[in-house]
């Protein structure tokens, strides 16, 4: 079986050139889509390799875990305006909050369980939440399904969404685009890559948006830019320095406020609440979020068989905001909802990542080994200053004809606190190959110290394991099985203690998965898998004294998933999949909760996206595209008393490329489907309604 030579950090340095889009490099793809010579080929929606599953060089057919790669072609053709919209093409993903909703990525689920965001293989806490629409600097997105603690350390049981950013190309290339559309949508973006000589190159991207929202008083005002300097002169050393800066503002609204369940999901005969209604306080509410990242990457090849990879990052995240939230059910007589938790919040985060990995290959007889030995350091500092408004000062508000306060609310005294997490992790991974079989075995030790301004000083430790294998039936078909573990060690777990004064261990989770993978087998590439994810050690109320917790909760997600890409002709490309999922609470101190399903985890999730590129005639180089995603009904509340209805979203698009120009017409939510995401027992957020826009791009 052919194994591509490309590691996690090397891929970041080279801009993903090693991550082949059906054996087409970014440089080659640029020649197709930027300046068309002859017929325009079908879009590339598949990849041969992703470095998300591990540090060693491992082909996707050898990876004992499901991994889906969202390519740049897919990002462009879907016209997705946010990470949540793009993830609609992933059958196991769930994140349909409007892009105007702050902290939306916190609701991201994979396979019915929480997932986390990483950026270029390093932990990303809240940075991507500043601007979920910042996709201009993204080359591809790797979606690892199920626990991936061996590679990524602490994270969600559902999996990891790893955002891979752009790197300089080997030749000069540039483009600029303008997007105009409904709701006064205005977006300008640019991307310039240039060689500087002597192996050096630079790439600069930027994007500015000034648009209205479908919600009253809410607007989209965001800016993001990046600059990357890279060095690669075919010598033993390669390196890159990247800087990213993002900001996002909304002067009069905090759209996390949401709408009541009554009048949206239920009780439509009592009142139907308009989608644009804002139930906060425009004179008080606002959000101003901003942050930056400075990253260093380097690879040194000691020999043909051994190399050292280094990565380091400093990132900052800032959220300044004020919000009034709704809390409680709708009063059917007055058609008002109560409100509370009016507050001003200042949040500052500072994060440091560092990783060093030694990777080497050697043989023991007929068995080939590729070993990775590494150390990773993570330092996270959090400062929060919270000033609350008395609930008595926040009146109820009408959902039909809201009346707003004329003057801002007056918050009380500040309540500030700080916390700090410091993590040291050591890991060893061995990819063993003999004949047509590949076995991946690994172990990772993680130790974290938590401190805060209230006197907390606690250590949490966890040992992670991975064992899996794949067997190549032929060059395009393999079977695999894997066991992966993960954990969640956070300051909340560290700070809590039992009724008897004992400290808690990290929550841990595991996944057992078996399946089949294909690459261009009968024209199809993809994965069919069966899986079971188990979460153990969940903190639940102590049955003796509900003021305390005990660590006995357990959840299970079991299902089947198929994800595929089909390219039957040079003109047609199709990607899609289906997830069947059953979730269950298996252990809890409240016997009435055992057997309940996890909120937001739909049993059925189907997605498909296709594009057809005309190869000849007067329509040559015209690409028509369309996508559909169906999310079945799911419980919206922890007690399974509220059901979120099923919904189906349809997107349509068309693009025409010739002589260095491309025009895209995109209609999102073409059927104007009304759908909601529940936040708690009383509140939901409306998904984005229909939006038409045109994007005009020129290439140089």
Is residue 17 situated within a structural domain? Answer: yes
Residue 12: is its pLDDT beyond 70?
no
SS3 content of the chain, % helix, strand, coil (to 5): 5, 55, 40
| 242-282 tens-digit pLDDT | 999 999 999 999 888 888 988 998 888 889 999 899 999 99
Secondary structure class of 87 (helix, strand, coil) = helix
Residue 96: is its pLDDT beyond 70?
no
Q: Which of 96-110, 318-332, 559-573 has the lowest mean pLDDT?
A: 96-110
Residue 470, strand partner residues: 438, 480
φ/ψ region of 546 (left if φ > 0, alpha if ψ in -120 to 50, else beta) reads alpha
Is residue 688 within 8 Å of 98, Cβ to Cβ? yes
Q: Whole-angstrom Cα distance, residue 270 to residue 653?
A: 38
Is residue 664 situated within a structural domain? Answer: yes
Q: Whole-angstrom Cα distance, residue 223 to residue 348?
A: 19
CATH number for position 484: 2.40.170.20
Q: What is the pLDDT of residue 17?
A: 31
What is the domain count for the chain? 1
Is residue 1 situated within a structural domain? Answer: no
Q: Which residue has the tokens 């640019």?
A: 190
Listed residue (429, 193, 423, 160) closest to 309, CA to CA: 429
Mean of pLDDT values over 363-392: 94
Mean of pLDDT values over 167-180: 96
| Domain encompassing residue 90 | 8-167+175-699
Question: Per residue in 98-127, is it b (16+ CB within 10 Å) or e — as a string?
Answer: bbbbbbbbebbbbbbbbbbbbbbbbbbbbb
Q: What is the pLDDT of residue 107?
A: 77
Residue 16: is its pLDDT beyond 80?
no
Share of the chain above pLDDT 90, in %: 64
Is residue 310 within 8 Å of 368, Cβ to Cβ? no
Distances (CA, A) of 385 to 68, 128, 281, 316, 452: 39, 22, 21, 16, 14
Q: What is the pLDDT of residue 168?
A: 96
Tell me the two tokens of residue 323. 């919000």
Secondary structure class of 273 (helix, strand, coil) = coil
Mean of pLDDT values over 600-628: 93
Q: What is the pLDDT of residue 26?
A: 36
Listed residue (128, 185, 203, 202) closest to 161, CA to CA: 128
Residue 550: is its pLDDT beyond 80?
yes
Mean of pLDDT values over 629-640: 89
Residue 5: is its pLDDT beyond 70?
no
Q: What is the pLDDT of residue 24?
A: 32
Distances (CA, A) of 548 to 316, 455, 593: 34, 19, 18
Query: Quick one: pLDDT band at residue 60, thresholds 50, 70, 90?
Result: confident
Specify the higher pLDDT residue, 683 or 149: 683
Q: Which of 364-378, 497-511, 624-638 has the lowest mean pLDDT?
A: 497-511
Q: What is the pLDDT of residue 676?
A: 86
The residue ranges of DSSP E strands in 327-396, in sequence order, are 336-337, 339-364, 367-388
Among 37-41, 506-510, 535-539, 666-670, top mean pLDDT goes to 666-670
Contacts for 455 with CB less than 8 Å, ≥ 6 apart: none
Q: What is the pLDDT of residue 325?
A: 84
| 428-480 tens-digit pLDDT | 999 999 999 999 999 999 999 999 999 989 998 989 888 999 999 999 999 99
Specify the higher pLDDT residue, 181 or 643: 181
**Which 8-state DSSP code applies to residue 645?**
P
Residue 645: is its pLDDT beyond 60?
yes
Among 150-154, 549-553, 639-643, top mean pLDDT goes to 549-553
Is residue 604 within 8 Å of 74, Cβ to Cβ? no
Is residue 653 situated within a structural domain? Answer: yes
Is residue 179 within 8 Å of 207, Cβ to Cβ? no
DSSP 101-121: STTGGGG-EETTEEEEEEETT
Listed residue (81, 104, 79, 80) closest to 94, CA to CA: 104
Distances (CA, A) of 606 to 74, 97, 240: 17, 18, 39
Query: Quick one: pLDDT band at residue 150, thresholds 50, 70, 90?
Result: low
Is residue 58 situated within a structural domain? Answer: yes
Tell me the two tokens of residue 147. 């626990």
pTM comes to 0.91
Q: What is the 3-state secondary structure (H, E, C) of 8-71?
A: HHHHHHCCCCCCCCCCCCHHHHHHHHCCCCCCCCCCCCCCCCCCCCCCCCCCCCCCCCCEEEEC
Q: Whole-angstrom Cα distance, residue 484 to residue 521?
A: 27
Secondary structure class of 139 (helix, strand, coil) = strand
Query: Quick one: pLDDT band at residue 683, thresholds 50, 70, 90?
Result: confident
Q: What is the pLDDT of residue 633?
A: 92
Q: What is the pLDDT of residue 10?
A: 33
Residue 27: is its pLDDT beyond 70?
no
Mean of pLDDT values over 11-17: 32
Residue 176: is its pLDDT beyond 60?
yes
Residue 2: is its pLDDT beyond 50?
no
**Which 8-state DSSP code applies to residue 331?**
B
Is residue 633 situated within a structural domain? Answer: yes
Is residue 3 situated within a structural domain? Answer: no
Listed residue (491, 477, 487) closest to 510, CA to CA: 487
Is residue 2 situated within a structural domain? Answer: no
Mean of pLDDT values over 567-594: 93
């Amino acid at each position: 079986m052919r194994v591509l030579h490309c590691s996690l950090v090397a891929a970041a340095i080279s801009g993903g050139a090693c991550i082949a889009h059906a054996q087409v490099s970014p440089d080659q793809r640029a020649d197709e889509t930027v300046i068309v010579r002859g017929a325009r080929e079908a879009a590339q929606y598949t990849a041969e390799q992703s470095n998300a599953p591990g540090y060693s060089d491992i082909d996707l057919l050898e990876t004992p875990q499901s991994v889906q790669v969202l390519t740049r072609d897919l990002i462009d053709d879907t016209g997705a305006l946010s990470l949540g919209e793009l993830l609609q093409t992933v059958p196991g993903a769930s994140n349909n909050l409007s892009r105007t909703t702050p902290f939306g990525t916190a609701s991201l689920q994979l396979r019915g369980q929480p997932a986390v965001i990483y950026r270029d293989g390093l932990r990303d806490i809240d940075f991507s939440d500043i601007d979920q629409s910042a996709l201009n600097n993204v080359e591809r997105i790797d979606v690892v399904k199920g626990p991936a603690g061996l590679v990524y350390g602490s994270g969600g049981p559902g999996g990891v969404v790893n955002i891979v950013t752009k790197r300089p190309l080997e030749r000069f290339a540039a483009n600029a685009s303008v997007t105009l559309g409904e709701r006064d949508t205005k977006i300008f973006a640019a991307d310039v890559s240039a060689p500087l000589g002597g192996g050096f190159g630079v790439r600069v991207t930027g994007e500015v948006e000034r648009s209205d929202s479908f919600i009253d008083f809410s607007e989209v005002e965001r800016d993001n830019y990046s600059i990357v300097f890279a060095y690669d002169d075919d010598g033993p050393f390669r390196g890159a320095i990247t800087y990213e800066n993002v900001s996002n503002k909304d002067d009069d609204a905090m759209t996390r406020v949401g709408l009541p369940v009554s009048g949206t999901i239920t009780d439509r005969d009592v009142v139907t609440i308009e989608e644009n209604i804002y139930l906060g306080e425009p004179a008080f509410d606002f959000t101003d979020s901003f942050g930056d990242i400075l990253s260093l990457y380097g690879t040194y090849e000691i020999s043909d068989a051994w190399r050292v990879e280094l990565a380091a990052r400093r990132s900052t995240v800032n959220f300044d905001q004020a919000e009034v939230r709704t809390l409680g059910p709708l009063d059917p007589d007055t058609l008002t909802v109560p409100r509370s938790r009016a507050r001003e919040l200042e949040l500052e985060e500072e994060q440091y990542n560092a990783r060093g990995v030694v990777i080497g290959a050697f043989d023991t007889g007929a068995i080939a080994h590729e070993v990775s030995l590494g150390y990773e350091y993570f330092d996270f500092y959090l400062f929060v200053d919270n000033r609350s408004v008395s609930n008595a000062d926040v009146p109820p508000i009408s959902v039909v004809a809201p009346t707003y306060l004329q003057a801002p609310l007056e918050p009380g005294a500040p309540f500030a606190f700080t916390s700090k997490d410091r993590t040291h992790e050591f890991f060893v991974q061995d990819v063993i190959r003999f004949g047509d079989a590949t076995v991946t075995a690994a172990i990772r030790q993680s130790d974290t110290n938590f401190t805060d301004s209230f006197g907390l000083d606690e250590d949490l430790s966890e040992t992670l394991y991975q064992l899996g294998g794949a067997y190549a039936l032929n060059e395009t078909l393999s079977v695999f099985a894997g066991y992966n573990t993960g954990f969640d060690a956070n300051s909340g777990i560290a700070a809590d203690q039992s009724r008897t004064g004992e400290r808690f261990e990290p929550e841990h989770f595991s996944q057992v998965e078996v399946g089949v993978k294909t690459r261009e087998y009968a024209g199809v590439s993809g994965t069919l898998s069966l899986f079971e994810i188990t979460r153990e050690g969940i903190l639940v109320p102590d049955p003796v004294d509900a003021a305390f917790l005990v660590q006995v909760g357990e959840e299970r997600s079991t299902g089947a998933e198929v994800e595929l890409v089909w390219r039957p002709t040079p003109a047609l490309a199709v990607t899609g999949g289906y997830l069947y999922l059953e979730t269950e609470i298996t252990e809890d101190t409240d016997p009435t909760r055992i057997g309940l399903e996890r909120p937001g985890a739909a049993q059925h999730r189907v997605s498909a996206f296709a594009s057809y590129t005309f190869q000849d005639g007067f329509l040559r180089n015209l690409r028509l595209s369309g996508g559909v995603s169906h999310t079945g009904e799911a419980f919206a509340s922890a007690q399974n008393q509220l059901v979120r209805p099923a919904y189906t979203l349809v997107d349509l698009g068309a693009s025409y490329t010739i002589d260095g120009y491309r025009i895209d017409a995109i209609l999102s939510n073409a059927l104007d489907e009304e759908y909601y995401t529940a936040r708690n027992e009383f509140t939901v957020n409306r998904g984005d309604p229909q939006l038409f826009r045109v994007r005009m791009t020129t290439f140089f």
